[in-house]
Structure 1
């Protein structure tokens, strides 16, 4: 039998790179996509087929989909991992930055999925794994826009799961906790801007102090990669998989009354 095929987006670093490596080791035919081709050279050396993708650009998404269709027809699996975030109070974070977050995390992700889904549906099988976050279930001060994009992904994933079940395509959400990735470096400029705010600076300093403490226990990307592999291979997958440091907080946020949960967050981060 031929190796199952999978596209992993955001494969240049972190969770995406770890997932691509793991799936290569497990015998998958891996297509690894990201903006930075040079950063995926180690994956190419391991046998991945690396492809350029700017998720926020419609032409880039269409070109990638056309290349994949020419190579394999319908993919066996799609891992929607690519995403990014910026940090800041909702009052002060510029709306153009909020739109940029949504262009990648929501519209870009769905735009690519729309391009690749018809072939899966017509064949009658496939699996889509969307990488959300614990921030898709609860948010902290300063992470409202990033959290909103992940909340949106959770809703879209629920709808897709219901819409596609009859066509043999399973949709699964993976919700990582605190993971040792480049997220903090990517968000650093927006964090620094928030710290200089006269109105919210003190709050954001408390938020950063709390985040720094939590990140000292961050899980490695491989832990998420192993969960993604499980989501791809379970015969009857769950709708959601939690993994990584602090991921159990999702359960606590659902059990505790909102007023008590808010008090716990404020104590830590304000």
Structure 2
């Protein structure tokens, strides 16, 4: 992995920031990208290159990738980490917000892949690491659009894995469980805004409380972002990475249960975990 160039989107905080640091420590030349470069000053001080990038903007994404290629000769590893969680009942969430969720989590990811793939194909090697979620394999209450985006990430990743294998390019899906970060608080704010009043209010408050709790340092069902970052670094440096890595407390068991239990039984388990009455 010595000298390989890695681009990490969503690099200003959480999993993205820690992944950029760990990749740098592992010997990669790392570019962390986010919409606001000023939030990445600490990474700059640590020796990580920083790039202003909005994954929903074609010109911004193209400019960032072309700049990295001009400076470093190519991109060997793309970590598609940029994303957020939009929560609220499907009936309540405006389709403009649904579009924004898909633009960031799905189309932004695809845009970045399209931009780096010509160079990877020309070299006959590369790794694309797409950050999905255990929520790409099953759903939680009032998370319809978020889960739709992560299901799409899983499907796109499977398609890309088949398409890119003949060119020597690996496609990896990372499926974190609950992570202690600001992500939970942001999602809680979204669900309260979308469904905090009206017919879904009771569900919304129960879900928001669970999401808020996941951001607290003492929430035992969640893992630290460092755990996910270590898995990403492991996949980035592997000669033959696995197609999927279920990472963090609860991810692998929950995915397994979702596959073997009848839908209605699993629904009851998830509803109970989120404090939603049925």
Distance in 1 separating the partners of 2:260 and 2:60: 42
Aligned to 1:114: 114
Deviation string, structure 1 residues 73-98 (Cα, Å, up to 9, x no partner): 32111111011121100000111001
Aligned to 2:171: 171
Q: Look up the SS of the partner of 2:32 in the other structure.
A: strand
1:39/1:212 CA distance change after superposition, 3 Å: closer
Aligned pair count reads 270
1:61/1:267 CA distance change after superposition, 3 Å: same
Contact 2:76 2:120 in 1 (8 A): yes
Q: Look up the SS of the partner of 1:50 in the other structure.
A: strand
Contact 1:7 1:75 in 2 (8 A): yes
Gaps in structure 2 of 5+ consecutive residues: none
Q: Look up the SS of the partner of 2:242 in the other structure.
A: coil
Q: Look up the SS of the partner of 1:174 in the other structure.
A: strand
Using the TM superposition, name which of 185-194 and 232-241 deviates more.
Answer: 185-194
- How do residues 1-270 of structure 1 correspond to structure 2 at under 5 angstroms? 3-212=3-212, 216-217=219-220, 218-247=222-251, 248-268=253-273, 269-270=276-277
User: What's the CA shift for 1:132?
Assistant: 0.3
Q: Look up the SS of the partner of 1:171 in the other structure.
A: strand
Q: Look up the SS of the partner of 2:33 in the other structure.
A: strand
TM-score by length of 1: 0.95
Distance in 2 separating the partners of 1:203 and 1:33: 36
Distance in 2 separating the partners of 1:55 and 1:35: 8
Distance in 2 separating the partners of 1:69 and 1:3: 14
Distance in 2 separating the partners of 1:239 and 1:60: 29
Structure 1 runs (4+) greater than 6 angstroms displaced:
none
Deviation string, structure 1 residues 54-107 (Cα, Å, up to 9, x no partner): 111111011112112212232111111011121100000111001001001111
Q: CA RMSD in A?
A: 1.5
Q: Look up the SS of the partner of 1:54 in the other structure.
A: coil
Using the TM superposition, name which of 255-264 and 124-133 deviates more.
Answer: 255-264
Q: Look up the SS of the partner of 1:82 in the other structure.
A: coil
TM-score by length of 2: 0.93
User: What's the CA shift for 1:185?
Assistant: 3.1
